[in-house]
Amino acid sequence: MNKKLTKVLATSIAAVALTSTLAACGKGSASSNEGSGEIALWTHNAGNPDELAAVQKIVDSYNGSQDKVKIKVQAFPQDSYNDSVVSAAAAGNLPCIVDIDGPNVPNWAWAGYLAPLELDTDLSKHLPSTVAEWDGQPYAVGYYDVALAMMARASDLEAAGVRVATMEQPWTKEEFQDALTKLKALGKWEHPLDLGTAGTGEWLPYAYSPFLQSFGGDLVNRDGFQSAEGALNGDEAVEWANWFRDLADQGFMARKSGKDSTQDFLNNKSAIVYTGSWAADKAQAALGDDLVVMPPVDLGEGPKIGGASWQWGVTSGCSNTEAAMDYLSYSLKPENIAAVAKATGAIPASEEAAAQTPSFAEGGANRIFMDFSREYAVMRPETPAYPFIATEYGKAVQDILNGADPKSTLDSAVKAIDANIKSNGGYKN
Amino acid sequence: MATAHLPTRPRVPAAAEAAIPPSNIRGNARRRPGFRRDQLTGWGMIAPAAVLLLAFIFIPAILGFGLAFTNARLISPRPVEFVGVDNFARLFTDPTFYRALLNVAYFTVVIVPVQSGLALVMALLINKKFRGVNFFRTVYFLPVVTSMVVVSLLWLFMYRKDGLVNEILSAVSFGLIDGPDWLGDPNTAMPAIIILSIWQAAGFHMIIWLAGLQGISGELYEAAQLDGTSRWQQFRYVTWPGLFHTRSLVLVTITIQALGLFDQISVMTQGGPMDSTTTIIYEAVQSGYRQQETSYASAISLVFFVLVLIVSAVQRYLTREKD
């Protein structure tokens, strides 16, 4: 037959074959590794070299300790991590071990992407906020938690005649108002307070729902998690919204803070910064004894902070669940937890690990964060509806800050949340 | 009269068109040798592109249309159910959706004339022969080859309260103008995004205009000059009619591009402040990914598809060749 035709046909067949193998590759890549005794582990740490190195070290030591399986670390940038994992889940492409932001665990467990943990480790000794449970079973466990706090310079507070807040006696709402007025009157800062209002995504519910809870409101009614009515749009919630917006209206804080609140604080652009334990080491190094770490304001129901940070889970599609669980148990040894805590400056998950981490041991400089975590941590609602609630709440916070009417903004958030819960059959099993 | 339209491009003589059919008829009656082979070659050549288009454009699009009438979610253990027009009912009662429509309309109505006009002016300026013209062509085109995400990140810093834009405003006005927080104020956020978008994309349409301008025969200008026309008359009666086809192309591409506004929003404002910059595509991505409501996102996409279709159809109708 003629050569030309054969050539053309061959080329097009090759092209078709190529595209279909590409598609097939995409489908099979995650699972194909596991046959050869290799287990994939995904983490959000690509932009955080210290923590990634610490995780890699645990993996290396585990790989060296036995020769049955090999764990392979794959790191993603945090901003796109959740989206990547959810898309991978929808495509049936999840690796064996995944890193998950604590509040998302119930959603993933409900969707059937996570397997309940069966570990040799005694999780009851861990900080409660580092173990994510759903439906009575643990689904993810973290090496650490982080705690929010207010940091300031002792010298500034003294100059303004404001007392240092302590765990025994946190600032009340009135004291806080008074402190900000006095600090502003010093004229040193355009905005004495920095609550990190430039933050987006999960920062919004993580940072600001504790204030709402301290007022007595909440993101959703925790009794059954079927509706946000009354919790997110009740009198307490409206009071919270007004208080929050007033902070900006009175010029105490910017509607949109700088990109890096901690750095702005260290550059003396603000007097009080609301940030997490992760910033403590940096602030400590820069300010030394002048730095004071204070609990968040008591707005009625006592100071509150968000509980749960990044945690580890095993996916239900994993072909070698036993090995994955074995790795997790291994990684939760106190020395491993301590190593991660040292690298990240985060609160180690267990008392044993804390004892091996100088700054978190009894009397250590960062011990106070561990106390905050034990005393004040409120878990974000443990319901599969959380990712939805978080986006609605985040949007409401931004709108309120920009001048939207608190009551109607919260009402429409409640309406959207309730509709979502209803359309998912109440997120029941 | 001088106003008589000059033929814009050599029209295919009617005789040439008429000459083709007879040969076809003869070909159909007794096919020339190798006809089948040519046919096969043609299909073979189309195949790779067709397979890719089918797999990545048409099938997902059709699936999306179907999903819009179900309650499918990105991840969920619940079976997918057919829910009729529930998603659309919800969409059409959602104030955010109307706000998004309004924002997109605002964006498009400003972008289409301003960006295409600016691009035409730029094209006219560099459609001259002088030293260094290539330098200007490159400079005007540079933003286009830069990714929109990178451009958005840079402008994000420039638009800050203490950013470059406000510093310049303050410097040239001797401190009189204290610029706003451009992206943080509902009144200035969209205009700020419009300016950035024009700056980024105008170069691309400049190149299209330029191609159109260079397609106009120099003889026409010579003839016009002999008739003693002014610069403006040359533009009005030679250049403008000569750009007829380019005009339709630029109009349609800018419109579709403007309606699909997303990158800048996602990077710079996330739809805020107070929904003042949210767009249809942004809402679709937001509900499809962050809120995991695949079906609702599909419904938004379907509505968007219909809107784009209507707008392009109207444009095609308005810019048709009226003979």
Say if the Cβ atoms of B52 and A4 lie within 8 Å. Answer: no
Query: Which CATH superfamily does the domain covering B94-318 fall into?
Result: MetI-like (1.10.3720.10)
According to the model, what pLDDT value does residue B106 have? 92
* Band of pLDDT at residue B30, cut at 50, 70 and 90: low
Q: Residue A253's beta-bridge partner residues? A: A193
Among all chains, which residue has been given the structure tokens 């009625």? A300
Say if the Cβ atoms of A398 and B272 lie within 8 Å. Answer: yes
Say if the Cβ atoms of A425 and B78 lie within 8 Å. Answer: yes
Report the Cα–Cα distance between both ends of chain A, in Å, rounded. 63
| Chain A residue with minimum CA distance to B53 | A19
Contacts with B, A 188-207, CB within 8 Å: 200
Work out the minimum CA distance from A302 to partner chain B, whole angstroms: 31
Nearest CB partner across the interface for B37, out of A5, A387, A425: A5
According to the model, what pLDDT value does residue A213 have? 92
Q: Which domain holds residue A341?
A: 3-146+309-379
- Whether B48 shows a pLDDT value over 90: the answer reads yes
| pLDDT tens per residue, range B227-237 | 888 888 888 88
Report the alpha-carbon distance of residue A195 to residue A185 in Å, rounded: 19
Contact indicator for A148, A354 with CB cutoff of 8 Å? no
Shared domain check, A370 and A412: no
Say if the Cβ atoms of B291 and A391 lie within 8 Å. Answer: yes
- According to the 3-state scheme, what is the secondary structure of chain B? CCCCCCCCCCCCCHHHHHHHHHHHHHHHHCCCCCHHHHHHHHHHHHHHHHHHHHHHHHHHHHHHHHHCCECCCCCCCCCCCECCCHHHHHHHCCHHHHHHHHHHHHHHHHHHHHHHHHHHHHHHHHCCCCCCHHHHHHHHHHHHHCCHHHHHHHHHHHCCCCCHHHHHHHHHCCCCCCCCCHHHCCCCHHHHHHHHHHHHHHHHHHHHHHHHHHCCCHHHHHHHHHCCCCHHHHHHHHHHHHCHHHHHHHHHHHHHHHHCCCHHHHHHCCCCCCCCCCCHHHHHHHHHHHCCCHHHHHHHHHHHHHHHHHHHHHHHHHCCCCC
Q: Which element (helix H / strand E) includes A411?
A: helix A406-423
CATH number of the domain where residue A373 is located: 3.40.190.10
Shared domain check, A123 and A60: yes
CB pairs under 8 A between A and B: 90
| pLDDT tens per residue, range B289-309 | 888 888 889 999 999 989 888
* Band of pLDDT at residue B45, cut at 50, 70 and 90: very high
According to the model, what pLDDT value does residue A12 have? 57
Q: What are the domain boundaries of chain B?
A: 94-318
Which candidate, A332, A274, A352, A326, places its Cα nearest to that of A142? A332
pLDDT (tens place) for every residue of chain A, 429 residues total: 455 655 655 555 555 555 554 444 444 444 444 445 888 999 998 888 888 888 898 999 899 888 888 889 989 888 778 888 888 888 888 899 999 988 889 988 888 888 898 888 888 888 888 888 888 888 999 888 889 999 999 999 888 888 998 988 999 999 999 999 999 988 888 889 998 888 888 889 999 999 999 999 899 988 888 888 888 998 999 999 999 999 988 889 988 888 788 889 989 889 999 998 888 888 888 888 899 999 999 998 889 998 888 899 999 888 888 888 888 888 888 888 888 888 888 888 888 888 888 888 888 888 888 888 888 988 898 888 898 999 899 989 988 988 888 999 999 899 889 888 888 888 876
Report the alpha-carbon distance of residue A160 to residue A181 in Å, rounded: 9
Of A62-66, A374-378, B98-102, B160-164, minimum mean pLDDT range:
B160-164
Q: Which element (helix H / strand E) includes A176?
A: helix A173-185
Shared domain check, A257 and A180: yes
According to the model, what pLDDT value does residue B10 have? 45
| pLDDT tens per residue, range B118-132 | 999 988 888 877 788
pTM to 2 decimal places? 0.78
- What average pLDDT does this structure show over B250-263? 88
**Final residue of a domain: which of A362, A379, A396?**
A379
**Final residue of a domain: which of A339, A362, A379?**
A379
Contact indicator for A170, A303 with CB cutoff of 8 Å? yes
According to the model, what pLDDT value does residue A211 have? 92
**Which residues in chain B are closer than 8 Å to A403, comparing Cβ atoms?**
274
Report the alpha-carbon distance of residue B53 to residue B50 in Å, rounded: 5
| Chain A residue with minimum CA distance to B274 | A399
Shared domain check, A95 and A208: no
According to the model, what pLDDT value does residue A30 have? 43
According to the model, what pLDDT value does residue B317 have? 86
Shared domain check, A374 and A271: no
Interface check A12 vs B, CB under 8 A: yes
- What average pLDDT does this structure show over B182-193? 86
- Whether B137 shows a pLDDT value over 50: the answer reads yes
Report the alpha-carbon distance of residue A364 to residue A394 in Å, rounded: 35
| Chain B residue with minimum CA distance to A420 | B293
According to the model, what pLDDT value does residue A7 have? 61
According to the model, what pLDDT value does residue A27 have? 40
Shared domain check, A417 and A274: yes
Could you give the count of Cα atoms lying within 13 Å of B303 in the half-sphere of its Cβ?
Answer: 23
Strands A148-153 and A272-276: antiparallel
| Chain B residue with minimum CA distance to A6 | B41
* Band of pLDDT at residue B110, cut at 50, 70 and 90: very high
- Whether B47 shows a pLDDT value over 90: the answer reads yes
Shared domain check, A187 and A46: no
Among all chains, which residue has been given the structure tokens 């444009």? B315
* Band of pLDDT at residue B13, cut at 50, 70 and 90: very low
Shared domain check, A389 and A247: yes
According to the model, what pLDDT value does residue A214 have? 92
According to the model, what pLDDT value does residue A9 have? 55
Shared domain check, A223 and A157: yes
Say if the Cβ atoms of A16 and B47 lie within 8 Å. Answer: yes
According to the model, what pLDDT value does residue B218 have? 84
Q: Which of B41, B149, B292, B298 to mutate to test the interface with A (most CBs of A within 10 A)?
A: B292
According to the model, what pLDDT value does residue A17 have? 53
Nearest CB partner across the interface for B78, out of A15, A86, A424: A424
Interface check A21 vs B, CB under 8 A: no
Shared domain check, A292 and A157: yes
Residue A410, Ramachandran bin (φ over 0: left; ψ between -120 and 50: alpha; else beta) = alpha
Contacts with A, B 54-83, CB within 8 Å: 55, 71, 73-78
Report the alpha-carbon distance of residue A295 to residue A28 in Å, rounded: 49
Which candidate, A351, A96, A83, places its Cα nearest to that of B74? A83
Q: How many domains does chain A have?
A: 2
According to the model, what pLDDT value does residue A6 have? 58
According to the model, what pLDDT value does residue A2 have? 55
Shared domain check, A281 and A170: yes
Shared domain check, A129 and A165: no
Say if the Cβ atoms of B290 and A387 lie within 8 Å. Answer: yes
Say if the Cβ atoms of A5 and B41 lie within 8 Å. Answer: yes
**Final residue of a domain: which of A343, A362, A379?**
A379
Q: Is the ipTM of this complex over 0.85?
A: no
